[in-house]
Structure 1
Amino acid sequence: MFSGMDEDDEIEFPEWMIQCSQAAKAVQTKTSEGRNLEQVQGSSSSGFKTRSPIVSSFSEVNEKNQRTAAPRVSQDDAVSSLQHVSDVAFECERLLNSAPSLQEPLLLGLDLDWPSTYAAIIAKTNTIHLCYGENHCLLFEVLHVKKLPLVFIKLIKHPNVRLLGHNIIEDLLKLGKDFNIDVKQVIASNLILSSVEQKLSCKHRWSYQKTQVNHGEEERFEPFTCEPDIDTTAQFRGRIKYCSSFEDCAAFSEEILIRADHCDQLPLGFDLEWPFRYGQGSGKVALIQICPDESICYIFHVFYLKSLPKALILLLRHPKVRLTGLNIANDIRKLGRDFKIDLSDVLANNLIELCTLANKKLHCSHRWSLARLVVNQLKIYLDKGPVRVSNWANKDLTKRQVAYAATDAYVSLLCYLKLNSIQDA
């Protein structure tokens, strides 16, 4: 999904942040006077994906605005901003040497920063933020680095290292894409994913703290190992029925309707794809993916249809049909807007939101992405590569596009079946 602010909306920044930005700009204007700019290692934070760490560059402003600014870092805390590959390698080597000697896994908080505009889809990672211990943070400036040190890759793949963070799977996928790293093993074996609510909060807003959801129960972590001979990438391997004409869409919808009539309840993995262009926003719905079981997936290419077949609308409204997916309500609303159909009854009666179901069954309150839920429940890796933002309006889709679309609906169904099998406490 893509969403944005209205043009009339105004963003109100805290006073300390405004003064920090002004101070950084003032420093930049004095380059001609010979001021050493190396002390300003992190410029204005307004263009980054995540919250900006507190760095020494703004120490004068922070001292001046102690009462209004975010909590300052104490002298005992370690915040190191590293710009050279050799420095990054040295710090990672130090952590790597300590990992084998620890009785418990070494916990590392991981986060990436990159520009938070629509260009973030293709923009490269600016900063790698790594936290360990209680108040130790490392900031790796990697915008102009073509290749990460091998010791960093060994560190995140080490069997005695566990990574955690908000939307960490998406960050790892981004890291793998930007620096050509195979992160499948890391996602499969080195993440902390469990039914326990986890928070990251420290004076740098990043140390590790666990919060028990079910008091009185022991914390249950569910790591899993990656067997070398197992393909851990999610891929639909069944039969794909693809259609782009009005008549074929109607015929395929009839097939699924017949199946719905002969069962008590029919869960359908459901997803949509549509083109998105910078400056133009979201286009019309291009694909409707419906997966009734592991052996077959239907893909309706509806971008060039002026209206949807009656049989397809009846399928969505069928009393025995349950459409399941992530953010599925927003998908149904978009489908209704694009084809001018009132689907309020579908919203009320026929949807199963995977995020809600997962939080209920796992007794947590996560904001799940589909990739993260797939790893947690299916123990496989969901590839969200460049095909995600490809042109879905093309009349002739590539095999990769079709496979990607079918897989999304397929794993949505599998996640529902797995979650639904969990007994309620």
Structure 2
Amino acid sequence: MSKRKQPLWLCDSPIPAAKRTVSNNENKPTERDDVKPKKLSESLPGEENTPRRQLRSNYKIPDEMPKREPLIRLNIDDVPFIEYKGAIKYFTEMHDMAYHCDQLIQWVEQQPEKGQPKVPIGFDLEWPFSFKTGAGKTALMQLCATTDVCYLFQISCLKKLPAAMLRLLNHPRVQLHGVNVKNDFRKLARDFPEAKVENMIESCMELGQWYNRIHGSSGIWSLERLVLQVCQLRIDKNKKVRMSKWNFLPLSDDQKMYAAVDVYIGQQIYHKLREKEAKLEQERLDLALELPTT
């Protein structure tokens, strides 16, 4: 077995001066101008005359593959605000909340299961917040099952959630959805321990995560960004209303509209994402049918 050749820097023969000199300035002369650099085909002392691979100086990194749906880049001042013209049903008494939750349960159970076993319902919560004392008790629950009506339940008036409300939130056919909705469930369970947060988290839909799965993207979405991207609309997050006293009764018209818009636009986003997902699935099926079989 032949001995392995020594690396170049251990050879007895020194490297020519022209090879030792490295200049960062093209106009600066080398130590020996009369020594011409060797060609790549010539070998240095102690080396075998083996072919060398040349680097491609004209190599260009290919552009990234285009994404299925690029981020919408709009002048925010040109984007219209959301206009909600549906009904807002606001309740402060426990028996009213229980009655309308029971009505929603009956409506859910009447929906056909074919093609959509789960019935989507937009969900959101509001509570007062103070920089001195932090988050207060959950004050308002918003639900939107159809885009023409939003329910606002003033649960800050309650010591315990109605049984019909709990049945609705944990109904096997109901899929609650929203942006950062899991944290809302945890907040609700901290303030009202009878709420079974595990069941709601298991069956809910996070709209931002769903958007990422459909489009192969990543990132954390706020409701404002998701509305702009999916609906090309702007949501009015007026700080004065957002940071208002949600536990003070009665709520103002601005508070009611703010709360209703959050779940209304969530329901709109849900249906748009469902349509997009179905369209992409159909495209994959059509492509599979066009591919030749072996």
Superposition pairs of residues 13-52 of structure 1, within 5 angstroms? none
The question of 1:249 aligning with 2:84 is answered no
Alignment pair present for 1:282 and 2:135: yes
Change (3 A) 1:218 1:416: closer
Work out the CA distance in 2 between the residues paired with 1:232 and 1:414.
16
Q: Is the 8 A contact 2:124 2:181 kept in 1?
A: yes
CA distance in 2, matches of 1:376, 1:231: 11
Inter-partner Cα distance in structure 2 for 1:391 and 1:351? 28
Equivalent in 231, 234, 247 of residue 393 of structure 1: 247
1:302 corresponds in structure 2 to 155
Q: Offset of 1:235 from its aligned partner?
A: 3.0
CA distance in 2, matches of 1:343, 1:310: 12
* Identical residues among aligned pairs (%): 34
1:337 matched to 2:190? The reply is yes
In structure 2, the CA distance between the partners of 1:397 and 1:342, relative to structure 1 (3 Å rule), is closer
8 A Cα contact 1:316 1:350, kept in partner: no
Q: Is the 8 A contact 2:120 2:175 kept in 1?
A: yes
Over the residues paired in the alignment, what is the CA RMSD in angstroms?
2.3
Ranked by relative contact order (alpha carbons within 8 Å, sequence separation 6 or more), the top structure is 2
| Separation in structure 1 between the aligned mates of residue 153 and residue 208 of structure 2, nearest angstrom | 25
Cα distance 1:403–1:220, how it changes in 2: closer, same or farther (>3 A)? closer
8 Å CA contact retained: 1:224, 1:379: no
- Is 1:365 paired with 2:213? no
Distance in 2 separating the partners of 1:257 and 1:219? 38
**Equivalent position of 2:167 in the other structure:** 314
User: What is the alpha-carbon distance in structure 1 between the residues aligned to residue 190 and residue 72 of structure 2?
Assistant: 42
CA separation of 1:342/1:313 partners in 2, compared to 1, >3 Å: closer, same or farther?
Answer: closer
Aligned length: 211
| Deviation for aligned residue 1:231 | 7.9
CA contact (8 A) 2:68 2:215 kept: no
Aligned to 2:270: 416
Distance 2:197 2:71 in 1: 38
Secondary structure, counterpart of 1:421 in structure 2: helix
SS in 1 for 2:138: coil
Report the counterpart of residue 269 of structure 1 in structure 2.
122
Checking the alignment, whether the CA contact within 8 Å between 1:322 and 1:351 is kept in structure 2 is yes
Deviation at 1:299, TM superposition (A): 0.4
Distance 1:219 1:410, change over 3 A: closer
How far apart in 2 are the matches of 1:398 and 1:260? 30
3-state secondary structure, aligned to 2:164:
helix
Provide closer, same or farther for how the CA distance between residues 220 and 236 of structure 1 changes in structure 2, counting only shifts above 3 A.
closer
Q: Is the 8 A contact 1:275 1:389 kept in 2?
A: yes
Give, in whole Å, the separation in 2 of the partners of 1:275 and 1:255: 29
Cα gap change, 1:320 to 1:279, in 2 (>3 Å) = same
Offset from partner CA, 1:29-78 (integer Å, 9 cap, x none): xxxxxxxxxxxxxxxxxxxxxxxxxxxxxxxxxxxxxxxxxxxxxxxxxx
1:186-201 aligned within 5 A: none
Q: Give the equivalent residue in structure 2 for 1:8.
A: none
In structure 2, the partner of 1:175 is none
Residue 240 of structure 1 and its aligned partner are, at CA, apart by: 0.9
Unaligned runs of 5+ in 1: 1-210
Map 1:76-115 to 2 at 5 A: none
Q: Which structure is higher in strand share?
A: 1
Counterpart CA distance in 2 for 1:409 and 1:269 is 5
Using the size of structure 2 for normalisation, the TM-score is 0.67
The Cα of 1:224 is off from its aligned counterpart by 7.1
Which residue among 178, 200, 210 is the counterpart of 1:325? Answer: 178
Question: Structure 2: where are the runs of 5+ without partners?
Answer: 1-61, 285-294
| Match of residue 12 from structure 2 | none
